[in-house]
């Protein structure tokens, strides 16, 4: 059985020094609502031959739990919990879609501990916060030994459980520009609460005289990563936002997705409901004030 070590650095310099000197496998710990249950499961498994020892590095002392505002954007630290986001006046003023999203995410006890950064870095194609972040064109800031770099959310995910982050890079914050349009998030699960998404979708719409000027449409749980639906966006821009236009545009999502059968739903069912969820998200965003 491998050994486990715990570190709680109070600065990035200390964190990167730990990563530089250890020969162990390293895992960063945010809220732990996904990682800790997996670790408990691992402790009950038969040890794997040749498995490295594990160093768990907590991010709790790095000052990543703040939300700030400037003239053009808001910054959300990666260690901000979903409950803190849901209650935050800055977030609610500029991006009420987050409250709509977070109330669909897990349950209260999980939201009190789970962080936005942990949810992002888990890189699940069924993550609920990611479609909303992508619809808002959020930028993710990574910090590593060689400095910081910014990655657009649509380019951040490489596959199920995989991101562009390098081995020692930490997600520092999420940056979202203030925007003129309105957004919405919709989720379909096997029950009404505390469930993973069968399909989820988010939409950002800018309109003038009911003509779509800008659109960002996203969908999750139907491919190895959450997707930007370019074909749907192109079918909306420049068109009057009628029910018929939204219905026709949403059907184009079928060509972009590659759903699978799993314990939550069949691929066939996901293909059937994906256009419906996309249309609902677009319609809700259009109706939002």
Does residue 162 sit in the same domain as residue 262? no
pLDDT of residue 112: 96
Residues 202, 268 within the same domain: yes
Low-confidence ranges of the chain (pLDDT < 70): 289
Last residue of a domain, one of 137, 154, 177: 177
Asked whether residue 123 falls in the same domain as residue 73, the answer is: yes
Domain membership of residue 20 as a residue range: 4-58
Residue 40 and residue 110 in one domain? no
Strands 182-189 and 54-58: unpaired
Neighbours of 86 (CB within 10 A): 18
pLDDT of amino acid 222: 97
CATH number of the domain residue 150 falls in: 3.30.465.10
pLDDT at position 48: 79
Q: Are residues 188 and 268 in the same domain?
A: yes
Measure the CA–CA gap between 266 and 275, rounded to whole angstroms: 15
The residue from 146, 177, 208 where one domain ends is 177
Regarding whether 228 and 166 lie in a shared domain, the answer is: no
Domains contained in the chain, number: 3
Integer CA distances (angstroms), 56 to 11, 22, 163, in order: 15, 11, 19
CATH number for the domain harbouring residue 267: 3.30.390.50
Query: Is there a single domain that holds both residue 118 and residue 201?
Result: no
Q: Which residues contact 76 (CB under 8 A, 6 or more apart)?
A: 67, 85, 91, 116, 173, 174, 175, 176
H/E stretch holding 184: strand 182-189
Residue finishing a domain among 58, 77, 104? 58
Same domain, 133 and 72: yes
In this structure, the answer to whether residues 118 and 141 fall within a common structural domain is yes
Q: Residue 192 has what pLDDT?
A: 74
Looking at the fold, whether 166 and 212 belong to one and the same domain comes out as: no
Strand pairing category for 54-58 and 4-7: parallel
Residues 173 and 193 in one domain: no
**How far apart (Å, rounded) are the C-alpha atoms in residues 222 and 205?**
22
Inter-residue contact 130 to 116 (CB < 8 Å): no
190 with 133, same domain: the answer is no
């Amino acid at each position: 059985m491998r050994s486990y070590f715990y570190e709680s650095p109070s600065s990035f310099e200390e964190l990167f020094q730990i990563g530089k000197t250890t020969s162990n496998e390293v895992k960063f710990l945010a809220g732990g609502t996904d990682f800790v249950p997996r670790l408990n499961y691992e402790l009950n498994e038969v040890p794997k031959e040749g498995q490295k020892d594990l160093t768990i590095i907590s991010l709790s002392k790095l000052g990543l739990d703040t939300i700030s505002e400037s003239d053009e954007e808001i910054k959300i630290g990666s260690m901000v919990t979903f409950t803190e986001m849901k209650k935050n006046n800055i977030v609610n003023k500029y991006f009420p879609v987050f409250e709509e999203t977070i109330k669909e995410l897990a349950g209260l006890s999980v939201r009190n501990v789970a962080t936005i950064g942990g949810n992002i870095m888990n890189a699940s194609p069924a993550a609920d916060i990611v479609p909303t972040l992508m619809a808002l064109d959020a930028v993710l800031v990574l910090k590593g030994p060689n400095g910081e770099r910014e990655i657009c959310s649509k380019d951040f995910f490489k596959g199920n459980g995989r991101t562009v982050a390098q081995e020692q890079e930490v997600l520092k914050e999420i940056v979202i520009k203030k925007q003129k349009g309105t957004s919405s998030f919709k989720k379909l699960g096997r029950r009404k609460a505390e469930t993973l998404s069968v399909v989820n979708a988010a939409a950002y719409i800018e309109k003038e005289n009911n003509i779509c000027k800008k659109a960002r449409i996203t969908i999750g749980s139907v491919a190895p990563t959450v997707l930007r639906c370019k074909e749907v966006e192109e079918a909306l821009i420049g068109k009057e936002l009628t029910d018929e236009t939204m219905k026709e545009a949403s059907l184009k999502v079928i060509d972009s997705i590659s759903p699978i059968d799993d314990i939550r739903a069949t691929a066939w069912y996901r293909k059937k409901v994906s256009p419906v969820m996309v249309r609902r998200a677009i319609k809700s965003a259009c109706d939002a004030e």
